[in-house]
Structure formats: structure tokens, C-alpha cells
Amino acid sequence: MPSFSLPPIRDNPDGGWGPSSSNLPDQSRFKDIPYAPYSKSDKLGRFADWNETTSDGRQTAVGLPVTQGTRTGPGGRRREGAQAFGSGTASAFAYFHVEDESSFSLVDNKAAPARKTGGFTRGRGGARGGAANYTGRGGAQRGRGGFTSGRSNVQRGGRKGWRDWDKGTRTRESSVVISPQWSMLEEIEFHRLAKLRLEVDEPEDLDTYGKVYPYDKTYDRVTTKTEKPLVPQDRIKYNTTTSDDPVIQQLASKSTATVYTTDGILSVLMCAPRSVYPWDIVIIREGNNLYFDKRDGGPFDTVTVNENASDPPQDPPPPNPNNPNEKAPEGPSINSATSLSLEATYINQNFGFQTVIENPPPPAVDFAHPNPFYGPEETDPLASCGYRYRVFDLGITEDEDVKICVRTEVDAYIPGAGSPREGQGLVTIRALNEFDPRAQGAGGAPDWRTKLDAQRGAVVATEMKNNSCKLAKWAVQSILAGADLMKIGYISRANPRDNTRHVILSTASMRPTDFAAQLNVSLANGWGIVRTVTDMCMKMPEGKYVLVKDPNRPVIRLYAIPPGTFTEQDEEGEGFEEEHADSTA
């Protein structure tokens, strides 16, 4: 019969766990392999597994003490599960770093966490009017209240932060193409400009030109219930650059000042730290004179909209050249940045034309000289506009002779407030426009038709936040011109989907100095910036320069450019016209 003999049991003389290495036979295949504790539940199947997986899906490096089998109970309490033999101790096969492998990384293969679609409310009515519905790229508010679904009281208008990653990829183009032939001379950050200070005394009036009409006070009584349509007016108003101004050319020949410019150009420079959109100023040095010029068709000829909003209006991206199947939009949206800028410029011009009385009484007031830009061959009527040429002293000491001559503009005068010829009762007229409070780029603006009369402060505060740079420039222009009042109209579209018809909802009146104080505009800081740029340019040799605001960073740069820059296109156009005329003849 088969028999079974009990093999001899060899105790471990060392007192450890497992057989003693001294008692192993020589022919044993496991002689040089150390013993590692294991459990049947351990996952085996790889020759070398450098990671262990815990019960909750977390991966840890082998050799680190990890508690497996932990479970999360109610209230976030953790209770221990079954202890695996091979997990709580250091593995004999653990991998240890010998050399620096900081460049080595592991690919995360964990599943992405589920996205939460919205929160819940416990009340009966759910969200009554506070939840914002964020959409698309900009995260603009698309509704005035929250949405609820049946009895579950689930807010349906969520998706906060949707495509927030796309915001960082939006880059603006420079207002002027930087040529490789240009040499950069200086670069100044905005935080350095904000520290400059220069106190300037009252200016000296040199001469006045043009004619101004009286302001129509009936527009001060317009409300949202008695709105008036904005009627387009056929009038001429000039925005000539500095070097083309015949009056400035005459004053420069007499060495009246060192720097010559206009209030529109100077206000951009004085409010530069507030600007977000790109701009450029052409600077010409001839002898000891500096001319601050603008380019025709540049950013100085249009009005910005919501420039300082957290999510300003955007132009549609150009089609991808690498994707031929992508179709370009047929036309720009009426709520794009370019379309809104043109619309705001149109509104500002026509609002200023409409709010003056051209037929006496009261009569129009002629300044000392007629409009210097209106030629004898012109037949269209002139708009109400008066030009005041004023000189500001930028000298720090009495011996320093640094003066700036500025052509300033006023739009009308207040009847009975003094003599306009002596600078009394002068008014500047501007307009803010509302396009669509639910569109991207609206900046969280309230509906003017419902809030303008009852909560004007909320509307004004929103506009001061979204259009800080534009309003600051308007205040600075009014102070430079010596105007007593600013008239700002609130103009909205008759239909949010139609950008051709507008209505006047209200008109606000304020003093420029008080308005600048509300906006926290520092004239001393603005004059300090002007003096710094002047000194920087006077150190350069005679020539042509351009001061460019970076389109995506708070930085201005000064470039030296060839003398024929910005005039070649005009010369090429004239040459093309002459060739075309010769060919047709």
C-alpha cells in the first residue's frame, strides 16, 4: 500500500518568519531570492510593476506605506478594510532612484472627474432673479434671472467658465505694422508712467477760430418715457492733424512753443495708463519743435466701446488658412468691436449736431477768426465747433522754457452764462451708446430703458467701469478746452438688432473737473507723462518717430522710422491716379 512519510521540519534558528537560509539545500532554485510577503488578492501578472493601485483608484509608488482597502463612510469618515499582506510593508522589489531623474514623468491615466451641471436650491421658488446665465466664450450675462425646472428647483443656466481657456489666446493686432527697418529706442511700462507728476499752471489763450451755436436745453428734460429719435445731420466737422493745421504752422514759425498738438492726441497720451486698445502717435522733430500727429484712418478718428470691460467686444477671428473648409463670415457682426466703434463715432457726431439751435434766437457766436479748415469752395454747412489755441507751461523751473501749444475744441455755449468769446459758458457734447445688454461685450450693463431714470447711479457706475479710458479722455479734453460744462447723452438702439436707428433716452450735465475727480483722473500725472515723452524725444536727433502702445501689454514703445513712413501710400495713390488719367486720355 502507498505510504506517506512526514518530511522533517527545520525550525528557523534565527527566530524569523520562513525557512532559514542556512537550512536550504544547495540545489534549491530559490536560494538567492529573498522572501517577500504576499496575498492571494495581490495583482500579479507583470514582471516589473513600479506602481501599486489602491482600492479607491489612487496610484502610489511601490515601497511607500499605503493603507489599502479604506472606504469612505457617511459624513466623510474613513473606516479600514482588509489589510493586504504585501502592501503595508516595503517591497523587496521596490525601485529606488540612484541618479537624478527629474525629467522623468508619468502619464496620468485616471478618468476625468464628472462635470457638475449646476447647483440645487432648497426653497419653493428656486432662483428668483440672481442667477446669471453665462454663455459662449465671454461669459457675458445673457439674462436677468435664474431659470428653474419644474419642481426640482434646479438652476439650468450655468456653465460658468465654459471655454475660459480660449480667452488667453485672444490677441489684438497692433494699430500700425511694425516694420523691421524701425529701431526701438525706448520702452516704458504703464506702472512707471503712473508714478509721474507735474503741476501745470493755468494756460494762456492765444487765439480763437470758428463759430458755436447755443445748446438746446430741451434735451436736458428728455427721459426714457419721452425719448427723442436721433436724426442724422449733414454737417462738416474737421479733425485735422497737427502738422496740417495752418494756424499751428503760423504759430510754430514764431517759436510760440516747443511742442504742438491737439486735445484729442494729448488726451490719449495723458490717459495712456488706462488704455487697453492699441494706438500710435507720430512724432516729428524739426529743429527745436515737436509735432504730435495722428494718422488718417487711425484709432484717433473713431470712438471705442467698452474698452475697459472685463470682456470687451471682440472682432470675429480670421479664417484658418490651414483649414480650407472653414467659411469666413459674410460680414462683421453689428456687435463686433469694429462695428460698435463706427456706430459710436456716428452717434457722437450726430448727437452734437442735433443738440444745438442753429436758427436764432438765441444767435450763433462767431469767434475772433473763421474756421481755418473751411475753404471757399465748400458748400456744405459747418457744424457748431470752436477752436481755442492755448499754451501750457511745462517748465519745472523758472529758467526752463518748455511750452506746449494745444488746439482745443468746444461744441456749443450755454445762453446767458457769459460771453463765449471770453471763454464763458462753453460746452463740450459727447454721447454714450447702448447696443444690446445681452450681447457679448456688454460688460454687465443694465437695461437703460428700465434703469436710467430710477437707478441712474448704477448705469453711470457701469459706464465708468467699462469705458474708463474714453470718459477720462473726454474729461481731459474738456478741461484743456476750458469748458464750463460737459453734456453726455445716453443713446440706445431703437431695436437691439438694428444699428442704424437710435433714440435719445437722457442727457447728463456735469462740470469737467468734478467728473475727472469722480473718475480719479490726475491731471498732474497726465502732464508728467507728456513732459517725460517730450524730454525723451528732445534727446533724439531730428527726424520722424512713432510712439506705439503695445496691443496686448501695458507698455508704450518709441521707434525711429524713416522720413517717408505713412506718406508712401498717399504718394502711390496719387501716382496711380495720374497714370490712370494718362491712360484714359
Same domain, 401 and 299: yes
How many CB atoms are located within 10 Å of the residue 175 CB?
17
Helices 263-270 and 523-538, axial angle in degrees (round to 10)? 100
Question: What are the C-alpha distances in Å from 533 to residues 113, 194, 291, 518, 527?
Answer: 54, 13, 12, 27, 10
**Residue 428 maps to a domain:** yes
Same domain, 192 and 94: no
Same domain, 474 and 562: yes
Same domain, 209 and 64: no
Give exposure, 30-68, as e/b (b: 16+ Cβ within 10 Å). Answer: eeeeeeeeeeeeeeeeeeeeeebeeeeeeeeebbeebeb
Same domain, 191 and 281: yes
Rounded-to-integer distance, Cα 296 and Cα 176, Å: 12
Residue 79, exposed/middle/buried by CB under 10 A (0-12, 13-18, 19+)?
exposed
Helices 468-481 and 523-538, axial angle in degrees (round to 10)? 80
C-alpha cell at 245: 493745421
**Residue 203 maps to a domain:** yes
Same domain, 100 and 187: no
**Residue 67 maps to a domain:** yes
Same domain, 100 and 190: no
Within a 13 Å sphere around the CA of 139, how many CA atoms are in the beta-carbon half?
12
Can you give the pLDDT at residue 52?
Answer: 54
Can you give the pLDDT at residue 207?
Answer: 95
Q: H/E element holding 345?
A: helix 337-354
Same domain, 481 and 349: yes
**Residue 266 maps to a domain:** yes
Rounded-to-integer distance, Cα 229 and Cα 383, Å: 19
Bridge partners of 426, per DSSP, are 413
Q: Which of 53, 78, 105 is the last residue of a domain?
A: 105
**Residue 244 maps to a domain:** yes
Residue 317, exposed/middle/buried by CB under 10 A (0-12, 13-18, 19+)?
exposed
Taking Cα atoms as reference points, which of 389, 525, 508, 498 lies closest to residue 460?
508
Q: Which of 71, 88, 105 is the last residue of a domain?
A: 105
Rounded-to-integer distance, Cα 338 and Cα 329, Å: 14
Same domain, 94 and 189: no
Q: Which of 84, 105, 126 is the last residue of a domain?
A: 105
SS3 per residue for 198-236: CCCCCCEEEEEEEEEEEECHHHHHCCCCCCEECCCCCCE
Can you give the pLDDT at residue 106?
Answer: 52
Residues contacting residue 247 through CB under 8 Å, at least 6 positions apart: 207, 209, 372, 387, 389, 407
Question: Beta strands 555-561 and 183-189: pairing type?
Answer: antiparallel
Same domain, 383 and 490: yes
Tens digit of each residue's pLDDT, the chain (585 residues): 678 888 777 777 776 776 666 666 665 555 566 656 656 666 665 555 555 555 555 555 544 444 444 444 554 454 444 444 444 444 445 555 555 555 555 555 555 555 444 433 333 333 333 333 333 333 333 333 333 333 333 333 334 444 444 454 568 889 999 999 999 999 999 999 999 999 999 999 999 999 999 999 999 999 999 999 999 999 999 999 999 999 999 999 999 999 999 999 999 999 999 999 999 999 999 999 999 999 988 899 999 999 999 999 988 877 777 777 766 666 678 999 999 999 999 999 999 999 999 998 899 999 999 999 998 888 889 999 999 999 999 998 888 889 999 999 999 999 988 889 998 999 999 999 999 998 988 889 999 999 999 899 999 999 999 999 999 999 999 999 999 999 999 999 999 999 999 999 999 999 999 999 999 999 999 999 999 999 999 999 999 999 999 999 999 999 999 988 887 554 444 443 444 444 444
**Residue 99 maps to a domain:** yes
Taking Cα atoms as reference points, which of 57, 159, 165 lies closest to residue 113?
57
Rounded-to-integer distance, Cα 549 and Cα 278, Å: 5
Rounded-to-integer distance, Cα 431 and Cα 351, Å: 7
Domains held by the chain: number = 2
Can you give the pLDDT at residue 273?
Answer: 96
**Residue 6 maps to a domain:** no
Can you give the pLDDT at residue 9?
Answer: 73
**Residue 241 maps to a domain:** yes
108 contacts 94 by C-beta, under 8 angstroms? no
Same domain, 77 and 208: no
pTM over 0.75: no
C-alpha cell at 265: 492726441
Same domain, 64 and 198: no
Show the domain range for 444. Answer: 183-310+332-578
Rounded-to-integer distance, Cα 452 and Cα 173, Å: 35
